[in-house]
Structure 1
């Protein structure tokens, strides 16, 4: 057990006691002592470190108070406090019969515990007791570390090795443990304790930041009542996740070693899972080819054997293109498939994704990675091949990276929108540009618009333009001559109307 000021004061053979009226708090008295030094220097702080106990017989203080005694004592106590000294042991009946009043007041002012050391207790006895306690604690921690490492090793050999390892870590450190995947999502591993609700958002934000960094790293989450350690899993530039551990105190070296061991075990388990993912990708490609060939029952059986979602009922098909390296996208989809209804496979230079028709397309990665995607309308499970072709048609209408073109949205906007997305404006311009290029082009275009707005009825259209119907007929005849269309036929009128709509 670590030695504290309270423990040291309770040692019967040392005779130490707090100065009567000392205002020290329980927190100060319960801090661990890292070492004990003795010094009579007025400024011993260059040789001291935080967490230590300083012993002095007061030789640096004058026997008779002078004009600087108060300020010197204040400066002395303030230096010790700022250095992080846990307490000051003052030997009485050696140089001074009592602790100088100036020093008593200064220690009280700067909240530095002041301990009386009787003349019968040499400093070396106090220092030796501190040294023995430190050695005993190190020996105990070493023994604990050995036993804890063995326990973690045994847990790793269980059928649920990763979950058992994390539960063992919780037991050994009295902490909570959470494992996040490469997407920053909590992995559903059965542990004893969950992430406390009051720090969950902070932990998730810190995990996301570490994953964005893309490098192996360990970090401490600040501004919480817990000591939260975040440790990445995997290799640099190929992180597999983050292990988050919340303890009441920061991990000491023995606890840190145990955490490193668990991180190593988790890394091995996740890398093994990734190797299985590579094998699953080949299987997924075969399953998708079965769906495309119409062998629905065989494909469904294969997906069920993989313990993943099997498409049924009405579905939609997405086709994605544009990735130089499909690995990160496939890894993301593999993680997504654990909790999302999605089936996917890479076939050649495109990714085919199946998902239920009543949910949004699971294609968030398209915009992030600068890809392009097309999405079909709802099709039956035996019409995956048709859905793929529809998705390809939609994909051909994507004119920028990061765009997802939904065939259903195009259909809702009508035939003109479809033709517009198909660059119908190019043909429309080619048809109408000769009309616009004439000296009376604006008059002809105005007459054409009015004629169509009134359903090709001459009198209402002529009245809207303030002209005689014969004048309107003359202008429409000129348009017919320029375009080469027979506007007496319904099909020619329809073609010219579409050109006018697209041109506008």
Structure 2
């Protein structure tokens, strides 16, 4: 806490009397200087207490009006930010001049009457001891704050924990602005408010620092509250801005507080850098895993994803391909989180269980990407799925999703045009053939199609009732996601079955 005039008045041994209370009674004193110069201001600084016996007034030029001389003296002290005057009585004259009382009241300076028995040196020594004690307390506070913030940085909370602790230690609201200039988070989190609660002047200053593109800090006053700013990152790559909004009526941070802020900024940069590196490594592992799946090396993909605590998608999956013509890969990958996705050949490829893929694809279109999707059973023959989803992405407009199965052109014709019929058949039917129950459904479908879709003839050849055959075809429709009542779906299934027959040695 700063040492104030009130602290001096509470020292009974000094027996000081406050004749005038200044405009800033809570202003902290930085020193008490003794001077009888007519103009001591060249040797003073703001927030000092000037101790004088008034001999300079007695030595005023003959004919000078005492009131004018004293008023000019006090005005000079007020102009440089002196807090008050301590007038020593019974040295040059008895009592304090009325002219000095009026001048201090006029210019808003505190005026203390110092009795003859109180040496100016005693006041200076007392203030020096108190200031030393306060400085030591502030240094101890800064050390404790830095330790607490460092401990927060070492925990699992990362950047958020660091800024929460900084806000608590400074008793301030701390805002983290991202690269775009938007508020990414507010601290402490228990006092989070909406982005709209951030004063436009604070947001504008953060935007200005970011647009400058170089490491910098600044300060301003907003509605009586002191606000400080510090950029994060090095010149050429700023990661954001931290802003500290102090309580209304507060002053600028002192030296210990600035040291705490500087340490917190450094730890925030380290934590943010570590987080970026962790994200980079995780993305590299996902990319390698995706490449392994495309090459048919499932075991390699399983091992790579295990390092991230993840696994290869199981069951029905959807391949999502996004054209990155106008979308930065970093932004696209960021919105996908920990999904199995990577940038491959200038486009983003995502593989996920169908429900999750359906939830993630709109995040890409929200960025303006053209997105294509293609469903398949499992991750085997993934290359064919990527080709289908890529075809759909080429048909999609920016900000839209096109599903391969819903394209107006016959999907089989697209596959033939790409020379990928065998790969398509392997992707669509291969997983079913590995399951005995599903393989039986395919056998029944082959006989049914060979009989031109005639239920009775196919049922007789299979040795089952026609209702049983209908039930089996319904199950196959659900597993393939097609409607076999349509001619194009039957034709496609027939060609896929023939392609599988041709691929069998």
TM over 0.5: yes
> Is 1:113 the equivalent of 2:115?
no
Q: Which residue, out of 7, 24, 33, partners 2:22? A: 24
Question: Once the 2 structures are TM-superposed, how far is the Cα of residue 52 of structure 1 from its aligned partner?
Answer: 0.8
Q: C-alpha distance in 1, partners of 2:191/2:176?
A: 10
Structure 1 match to 2:9: 9
Question: Once the 2 structures are TM-superposed, how far is the Cα of residue 7 of structure 1 from its aligned partner?
Answer: 0.7
**1:23/1:143 Cα in 2 relative to 1: closer, same or farther (>3 Å)?**
closer
Q: Which residue, out of 34, 38, 55, partners 1:59? A: 55
Structure 1 match to 2:488: none
Structure 2 match to 1:132: 129
Q: C-alpha distance in 1, partners of 2:261/2:401?
A: 51
Structure 1 match to 2:191: 194
**1:103/1:111 Cα in 2 relative to 1: closer, same or farther (>3 Å)?**
same
Write out aligned runs for 1:69-148 (5 A): 69-148=66-145
Question: Once the 2 structures are TM-superposed, how far is the Cα of residue 172 of structure 1 from its aligned partner?
Answer: 2.5
Contact (CA 8 Å) 2:209, 2:216: kept in 1 or not?
A: yes
Structure 2 match to 1:460: none
Structure 2 match to 1:242: 241
Structure-2-length-normalised TM-score: 0.63
Structure 2 match to 1:35: 31
Structure 2 match to 1:361: 365
Question: Once the 2 structures are TM-superposed, how far is the Cα of residue 108 of structure 1 from its aligned partner?
Answer: 1.3
Write out aligned runs for 1:277-316 (5 A): 277-286=279-288
Q: C-alpha distance in 2, partners of 1:344/1:183?
A: 24
Q: C-alpha distance in 2, partners of 1:242/1:377?
A: 37
Q: After superposing the two structures, state which structure 1 stretch, 75-84 or 223-232, moved more.
A: 223-232
Question: Once the 2 structures are TM-superposed, how far is the Cα of residue 92 of structure 1 from its aligned partner?
Answer: 1.6
Contact (CA 8 Å) 1:227, 1:247: kept in 2 or not?
A: yes
Q: C-alpha distance in 1, partners of 2:186/2:40?
A: 52
Q: C-alpha distance in 2, partners of 1:58/1:142?
A: 38
Structure 2 match to 1:256: 258
Question: Once the 2 structures are TM-superposed, how far is the Cα of residue 13 of structure 1 from its aligned partner?
Answer: 1.0
Contact (CA 8 Å) 2:165, 2:188: kept in 1 or not?
A: no
Q: After superposing the two structures, state which structure 1 stretch, 383-392 or 145-154, moved more.
A: 383-392
Q: Which residue, out of 40, 50, 74, partners 2:46? A: 50
Q: C-alpha distance in 2, partners of 1:375/1:44?
A: 74
**1:184/1:63 Cα in 2 relative to 1: closer, same or farther (>3 Å)?**
closer
Could you list the per-position Cα deviations for residues 91-122 of structure 1 after superposition, in whole angstroms to 9, with x for gaps in the alignment? Answer: 12111223333322222111111111111112
Structure 2 match to 1:375: 370
Q: After superposing the two structures, state which structure 1 stretch, 94-103 or 386-395, moved more.
A: 386-395
Contact (CA 8 Å) 1:177, 1:195: kept in 2 or not?
A: no
Question: Once the 2 structures are TM-superposed, how far is the Cα of residue 69 of structure 1 from its aligned partner?
Answer: 2.9
**1:230/1:335 Cα in 2 relative to 1: closer, same or farther (>3 Å)?**
farther
Contact (CA 8 Å) 1:50, 1:86: kept in 2 or not?
A: yes
Write out aligned runs for 1:427-442 (5 A): none
Question: Once the 2 structures are TM-superposed, how far is the Cα of residue 201 of structure 1 from its aligned partner?
Answer: 4.4
Q: C-alpha distance in 1, partners of 2:154/2:364?
A: 41
**1:99/1:336 Cα in 2 relative to 1: closer, same or farther (>3 Å)?**
farther
Structure 2 match to 1:473: none
SS of the equivalent of 1:29 reads coil
Write out aligned runs for 1:345-494 (5 A): 345-350=342-347, 361-363=365-367, 375-376=370-371, 385-392=387-394
Contact (CA 8 Å) 1:178, 1:194: kept in 2 or not?
A: no
Contact (CA 8 Å) 2:146, 2:264: kept in 1 or not?
A: no
Q: C-alpha distance in 2, partners of 1:343/1:266?
A: 28
Question: Once the 2 structures are TM-superposed, how far is the Cα of residue 273 of structure 1 from its aligned partner?
Answer: 1.3
Contact (CA 8 Å) 1:316, 1:376: kept in 2 or not?
A: yes
Contact (CA 8 Å) 2:162, 2:264: kept in 1 or not?
A: yes
Q: C-alpha distance in 2, partners of 1:151/1:93?
A: 54
Contact (CA 8 Å) 1:56, 1:90: kept in 2 or not?
A: yes
Structure-1-length-normalised TM-score: 0.63
Question: Once the 2 structures are TM-superposed, how far is the Cα of residue 407 of structure 1 from its aligned partner?
Answer: 9.1
**1:132/1:333 Cα in 2 relative to 1: closer, same or farther (>3 Å)?**
farther
Contact (CA 8 Å) 2:201, 2:222: kept in 1 or not?
A: no
**1:236/1:344 Cα in 2 relative to 1: closer, same or farther (>3 Å)?**
farther
**1:49/1:304 Cα in 2 relative to 1: closer, same or farther (>3 Å)?**
same
**1:307/1:205 Cα in 2 relative to 1: closer, same or farther (>3 Å)?**
farther
Q: C-alpha distance in 1, partners of 2:157/2:56?
A: 65
Measured on the aligned residues, the alpha-carbon RMSD in Å equals 4.1
Contact (CA 8 Å) 2:320, 2:374: kept in 1 or not?
A: yes
Structure 1 match to 2:409: none
Question: Once the 2 structures are TM-superposed, how far is the Cα of residue 44 of structure 1 from its aligned partner?
Answer: 1.3
Structure 1 match to 2:275: 273
Aligned residue pairs: how many? 380
**1:334/1:390 Cα in 2 relative to 1: closer, same or farther (>3 Å)?**
closer
Unmatched tracts of structure 1, length 5 or more: 324-328, 365-373, 396-403, 409-504
Structure 2 match to 1:318: 322
Contact (CA 8 Å) 1:183, 1:332: kept in 2 or not?
A: no
Unmatched tracts of structure 2, length 5 or more: 351-356, 378-384, 403-505
Structure 2 match to 1:217: 216
SS of the equivalent of 1:222 reads strand
**1:257/1:358 Cα in 2 relative to 1: closer, same or farther (>3 Å)?**
closer
